[in-house]
């Protein structure tokens, strides 16, 4: 966001400077500067007046009159012998084809005058110590201060005006990204950013409808599958009791096993749809981390197949919806035990305003390119997964959903043990 503000300010500043240069170019460079024309006309008039006075006054009286005129107009008068004058002055007065050949303004707009048959030049230069000229300089400087100050004030106001509206849209976008499907951008004239607010709302409506429809469909399908699955299980149990062939019994047992797996998948789908509902609010509470995690580790199925090391910093508490966090950590631990070769490490530590729960194993690990995709529903990393160690494909998706509902995040990294390392970070303070 700051980059946009800085770019906007720089753009306005460049536009302001370019406008000043363009004004100077078109008014003073490409066209006639009539201020200079007026100065030349005034200089010619003064020279004509001096020439007239020289016919009736001696040189000393004329110099005194000219000196009085210079003092009255806040100028300094210097009498410069022609041989000591700057080269540009000599060249001008020696050129017979120049207009107003007895008056000349140098590059600093100093006025040079001479009289016919005179051996001196009268040089008028501004008296910078004069109060009037100092006030004029101050007024000119103050003018640019006001112009620059006005530009800064206007630019700051414009940037604030736009940023206020953009920040509102940014907050709405962040809320929508966190799962608040009801978040919409305001469309009143005081908060709109062109048509961007309406466009965002249209997009949000379509996405919300798609997600809601998808969740409703998932929940409906999962719910309707329960009855036929139960019927298959019941009939298979009856057949198993009636058949006598060992081969047929094994096949029926396999059918029952598959239907039980389907039932678990349906339950996972229903749970996933339930916690993903927008109206599902969290009931957060503060509870100690050590007994909570130790209890989950102790009742973990198949935990006897590997060694589980638990490292918890003393006096750490968790701020969470306890049943939801329990389900998330159960899924993480089950996943770690399923793929571990021999050891699983569980770490709970505080990191500033957040609490981290880290679970790592010495299993095959997860390739870097799949570490984000594994949180998607039904994603599997082949070929390390098979029916023996395969879950339902929703465990990590449920973990991600629960953690994000707690305003946290879950990421996979490579473990020092060679396997996977899942880091769950959740806030430990209420917003």
Q: Which of 143, 191, 202, 149 is nearest to 168 (CA)?
A: 191
Residues 178-219 pLDDT 10s: 777 888 998 888 788 778 889 999 999 999 888 878 777 777
Q: Same domain, yes or no, for 316 and 240?
A: no
Q: Give the confidence band of 12 by pLDDT, cuts at 50, 70, 90.
A: confident
CATH number of the domain encompassing residue 420: 3.30.565.10
Q: Does residue 80 lie in a domain region?
A: yes
Q: Which of 245, 346, 223, 343 is nearest to 292 (CA)?
A: 346
Q: Same domain, yes or no, for 255 and 304?
A: no
pLDDT for the residue 96: 58
Q: Same domain, yes or no, for 305 and 258?
A: no
228, pLDDT greater than 70: yes
Q: Same domain, yes or no, for 339 and 396?
A: yes
Q: Does residue 40 lie in a domain region?
A: yes
Q: Which of 118, 111, 5 is nearest to 54 (CA)?
A: 118
Report the percent of the chain where pLDDT is more than 90.
Answer: 22
Domain boundary among 275, 306, 332: 275
**Is pTM beyond 0.75 here?**
no
Q: Does residue 26 lie in a domain region?
A: no
Residues 131-158 pLDDT 10s: 988 888 888 888 888 888 888 888 788 7
Mean confidence (pLDDT) of the chain = 84
Q: Facing residues of 311 across strands? A: 347
Q: Same domain, yes or no, for 115 and 69?
A: yes
Report the percent of the chain where pLDDT is more than 70.
Answer: 93
Q: Same domain, yes or no, for 271 and 297?
A: no
Spatial neighbors of 85 by CB under 8 A, at least 6 apart, are: 112, 121
318 touches 325 (CB < 8 A): yes
Q: Give the confidence band of 23 by pLDDT, cuts at 50, 70, 90.
A: confident
Return the CA Rg of the chain: 44
* Bond from prior residue into 255 cis (ω within 30 degrees of 0): no
Q: Does residue 11 lie in a domain region?
A: no
Q: Give the confidence band of 390 by pLDDT, cuts at 50, 70, 90.
A: low
Q: Does residue 146 lie in a domain region?
A: no
The structural domain count of the chain equals: 3
Q: Same domain, yes or no, for 256 and 376?
A: no
Long-range contact pairs involving 70-75 (C-beta distance under 8 Å, separation at least 24): 70/124, 73/124, 74/126, 74/127, 74/130, 74/132, 74/133, 75/111, 75/124, 75/125, 75/126, 75/127
Residues 275-311 pLDDT 10s: 777 666 788 999 999 999 999 999 887 767 789 999 9
Q: Which residue range is the domain that position 101 belongs to? A: 32-127
The Cα 160–Cα 150 span in angstroms is 15
Q: Same domain, yes or no, for 288 and 269?
A: no
Residues 81-130 pLDDT 10s: 988 889 888 888 877 555 556 788 888 888 988 887 788 899 999 888 88
180 by Cβ neighbours in 10 Å (0-12 / 13-18 / 19+) ranks as: middle
Q: Which of 222, 233, 218 is nearest to 266 (CA)?
A: 222
Domain boundary among 253, 275, 297: 275
Q: Does residue 181 lie in a domain region?
A: no
Spatial neighbors of 66 by CB under 8 A, at least 6 apart, are: 50, 77, 122
426 touches 407 (CB < 8 A): yes
What does the block give as tokens for 105?
């303004």
pLDDT for the residue 192: 80
Q: Does residue 149 lie in a domain region?
A: no
Q: Which of 48, 35, 64 is nearest to 102 (CA)?
A: 48
Q: Which of 334, 390, 395 is nearest to 361 (CA)?
A: 334
Domain boundary among 275, 302, 333: 275
Q: Same domain, yes or no, for 296 and 385?
A: yes
The Cα 264–Cα 355 span in angstroms is 31
Angle at 381 between CA 375 and CA 386, to 5 degrees: 120
List, in sequence order, the alpha helices (H) in 55-124.
59-72, 87-94
The Cα 257–Cα 370 span in angstroms is 30
Q: Same domain, yes or no, for 206 and 297?
A: no
pLDDT for the residue 387: 47
Q: Same domain, yes or no, for 288 and 268?
A: no
Q: Same domain, yes or no, for 384 and 405?
A: yes
Tell me 341's DSSP state. S
CATH number of the domain encompassing residue 209: 1.10.287.130
Q: In what order do the strands lie in the sheet with 354-361?
A: 307-312, 343-351, 354-361, 420-427, 409-414
Q: Does residue 390 lie in a domain region?
A: yes
């Amino acid at each position: 966001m700051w980059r946009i503000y800085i770019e906007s300010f720089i753009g306005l500043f460049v536009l302001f400077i370019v406008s000043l240069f363009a004004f100077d170019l078109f008014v003073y460079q490409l066209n006639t500067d009539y201020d200079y024309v007026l100065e030349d006309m005034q200089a010619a008039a003064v020279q004509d007046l001096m020439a007239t006075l020289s016919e009736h006054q001696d040189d000393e009286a004329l110099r005194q009159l000219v000196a009085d005129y210079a003092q009255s107009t806040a100028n300094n008068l210097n009498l410069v012998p022609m041989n000591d004058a700057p080269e540009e002055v000599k060249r001008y007065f020696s050129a017979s084809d120049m207009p107003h050949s007895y008056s000349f303004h140098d590059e600093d707009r100093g006025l040079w005058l001479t009289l016919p048959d005179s051996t001196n030049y009268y040089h008028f230069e501004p008296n910078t110590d004069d109060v009037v000229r100092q006030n004029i300089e101050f007024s000119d400087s103050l003018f640019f201060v006001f112009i620059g100050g006005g530009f800064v004030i206007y630019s700051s106001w414009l940037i604030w005006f736009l940023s206020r509206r953009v920040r509102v849209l940014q907050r709405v976008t962040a809320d929508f990204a966190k799962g608040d499907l009801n978040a919409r951008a305001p469309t009143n004239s005081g908060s709109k950013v062109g048509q961007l607010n309406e466009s965002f709302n249209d997009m949000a409506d379509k996405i919300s409808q798609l997600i809601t429809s998808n969740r409703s469909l998932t929940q409906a399908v999962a719910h309707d599958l329960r009855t036929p699955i139960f019927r298959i299980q019941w009939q298979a149990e009856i057949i198993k009791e009636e058949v006598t062939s060992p081969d047929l019994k094994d096949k029926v047992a396999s059918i029952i096993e598959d239907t039980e797996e389907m039932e678990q998948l349906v339950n996972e789908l229903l749970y996933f749809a339930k916690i993903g509902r927008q109206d599902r609010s969290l009931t957060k509470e503060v509870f100690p981390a050590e007994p909570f995690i130790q209890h989950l580790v102790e009742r973990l199925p198949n935990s006897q197949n590997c060694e589980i090391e638990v490292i918890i910093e003393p006096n750490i508490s968790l701020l969470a919806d306890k049943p939801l966090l329990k389900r998330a950590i159960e899924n993480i631990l089950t996943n770690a035990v399923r793929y571990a070769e021999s050891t699983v490490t569980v770490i709970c530590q505080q990191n500033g305003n957040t609490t981290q729960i880290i679970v790592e194993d010495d299993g095959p690990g997860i390739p870097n390119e799949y570490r984000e995709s594994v949180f998607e529903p039904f994603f599997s990393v082949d070929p390390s997964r098979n029916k023996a160690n395969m879950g339902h494909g929703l465990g990590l998706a449920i973990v991600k959903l629960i953690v994000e509902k707690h305003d946290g995040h879950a990421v996979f990294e490579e473990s020092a043990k060679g396997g996977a390392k899942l880091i769950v970070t959740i806030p430990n303070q209420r917003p």
